[in-house]
Every structure is written in structure tokens, then in C-alpha cells.
């Protein structure tokens, strides 16, 4: 598993590893939605584009996950997977594969309210990249 759940007082978070920056952003999206539902139950997705910017890479990661979470909170859509099309230090474009939430098929594990800056970190490692984010429940 390329991520682990971080226990945090009254909240939860993820620590994600990946060999490349695009892979880390895609994996962070997957980890976010695995906290919300069982991704194996999501089928018949459609693709859409998400573009976000930030002041640096860590801010970009936070804004990316916020844009992904917005699909859930505003549109009742679940992101099964993401592919980063292009990424720079302060901007990214991604294709996300989404499905409308169906309460008969998609159990809700956690109601994530927000992606926070608390303990947020994104840094290169000897094996690639590592990111850490806390979610407000």
C-alpha cells in the first residue's frame, strides 16, 4: 500500500509515497476517497478535467485534494482514480474518473469536511516523493 492512515485527535490523515510527483498526487486522491468509500464498488465512471494552482507544491497538494473533495461534497460524485496530465510547481491539470454516489452501492466510511494545512508536507525522498495531509472530520 503506497499510503498509510495517520491517527490524529478527532481527525484523520494520510501519508503517501510515490516514485514521481504525478504519481503522488494521483495516489493522494485515491487515499482520500478510500477514507470515504470502498473504491472497488465504483464502476462505469466518466472522465472530467480538474485544474488547480497553488503558491508552492504543498499548497498545490492541499488545493488538489480540496478540488477532489469538492466533487464529493458539492456534486455527490466519487472519484475512483486520477491521472495527472501535467504538473508544475504551482499548477496541475488532471483527468479524474468519477461516478455519481449511489447509497445502495457505496458505503460511507467517513464524512471528510475539509483538507487542512495542519502538518501538511510534501518533500522529495531518496525513493521519490512523500506527502502528508490531515483531514477534518
CB-CB contact of 14 with 132 (8 Å): yes
**What is the chain's pLDDT, residue by residue, as a tens digit (137 residues)?**
588 888 766 789 999 999 999 999 999 999 999 999 999 999 889 999 999 999 999 999 999 999 999 999 999 999 999 999 999 999 999 999 999 999 999 999 999 999 999 999 999 999 999 999 999 99
Residue 7, pLDDT score? 73
Give the number of domains in the chain. 1
Q: CA distances (Å), 57 to each of 21, 24, 102, 103, 137, in order?
A: 10, 11, 34, 35, 24
**At residue 122, what are phi and psi to the nearest 5 degrees?**
-140, 125
For residue 61, with 0-12 CB atoms within 10 Å meaning exposed, 13-18 middle and 19 or more buried, which class applies?
Answer: buried
- Residue 75 belongs to domain spanning: 3-136
The CATH number that applies at residue 115 is 3.55.10.10
Amino acid at each position: 500500500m503506497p499510503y498509510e492512515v495517520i491517527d490524529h485527535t478527532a481527525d484523520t490523515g494520510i501519508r503517501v509515497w510515490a516514485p514521481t510527483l504525478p504519481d503522488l498526487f494521483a495516489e493522494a486522491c485515491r487515499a482520500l476517497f478510500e477514507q470515504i468509500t470502498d473504491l472497488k464498488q465504483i464502476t462505469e465512471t466518466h472522465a472530467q478535467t480538474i485544474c488547480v494552482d497553488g503558491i508552492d507544491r504543498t499548497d498545490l497538494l492541499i488545493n488538489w485534494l480540496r478540488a477532489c473533495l469538492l466533487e464529493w461534497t458539492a456534486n455527490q460524485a466519487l472519484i475512483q482514480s486520477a491521472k495527472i496530465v501535467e504538473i508544475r510547481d504551482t499548477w496541475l491539470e488532471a483527468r479524474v474518473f468519477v461516478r455519481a454516489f449511489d447509497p445502495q452501492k457505496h458505503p460511507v466510511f467517513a464524512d471528510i469536511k475539509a483538507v487542512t494545512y495542519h502538518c501538511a508536507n510534501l518533500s522529495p525522498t531518496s525513493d521519490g516523493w512523500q506527502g502528508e495531509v490531515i483531514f477534518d472530520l
